């Protein structure tokens, strides 16, 4: 169809750790990052492993259909953490990659 190019037009910009990444409507934030060769840790891509945790600094997101946020506890959700694999953009976004518990533990061990 002549208007099929509209579906592929990036609709929002996601700023992730200084990288500007176009995000198509309905595309998960993780998919957008990987599509543009931006390294973002990931594993399961279904909300269980928590490797794709990011902190939402600005903008609005919407969960993907049937989103599973099992990898986030209530405290993490309240502090603005989201799963990049389980959210889509609803506006331009600014995110930073969140440290995993393992990374925090490793950092604490190095300082001890
Ligand atoms: S990749 Fe596993 S929770 Fe997102």
| pLDDT for 2 beyond 70 | no
Q: Is the Cβ atom of 33 under 6 angstroms away from ligand 1? A: no
| pLDDT for 1 beyond 60 | no
**Residue of 34, 21, 26, 20 whose CA lies nearest to 8:** 26
Instruction: State pLDDT tens for residues 5-64.
Output: 555 667 999 999 889 999 999 999 999 999 999 989 999 999 999 999 999 999 999 999
Contact status, residue 82 vs residue 94, Cβ threshold 8 Å: no
| pLDDT for 69 beyond 70 | yes
- Ordered by where they begin, the domains of the chain are 8-111 (3.10.20.30)
**Residue of 25, 12, 7, 9 whose CA lies nearest to 59:** 12
Tokens of 10: 């990036």
> What atom of ligand 1 comes closest to residue 43's alpha carbon?
1
Question: Which one of 31, 41, 46, 67 would you pick to mutate in the ligand 1 pocket, going by the greatest count of ligand atoms within 8 A of its CB?
Answer: 46
**pLDDT, average across residues 66-94:** 94
Instruction: Say how far apart CA 83 and CA 97 lie, in whole Å.
Output: 10
**Residue of 49, 92, 40 whose CA lies nearest to 70:** 49
pTM of the predicted model, to two decimals? 0.83
């Amino acid at each position: 169809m002549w208007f099929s190019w509209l579906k592929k037009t990036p609709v929002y910009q996601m700023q992730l750790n200084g990288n500007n990444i176009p995000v198509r409507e309905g595309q998960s934030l993780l998919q957008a990052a990987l599509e543009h060769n931006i390294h973002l840790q990931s594993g399961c891509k279904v909300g269980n492993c928590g490797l794709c945790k990011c902190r939402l600094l600005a903008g609005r997101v919407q969960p993907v259909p049937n989103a599973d946020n099992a990898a986030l506890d209530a405290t993490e959700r309240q502090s603005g953490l989201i799963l990049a694999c389980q959210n889509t953009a609803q506006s331009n976004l600014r995110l930073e990659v969140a440290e995993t518990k393992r990374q925090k533990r490793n950092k604490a061990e190095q300082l001890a």
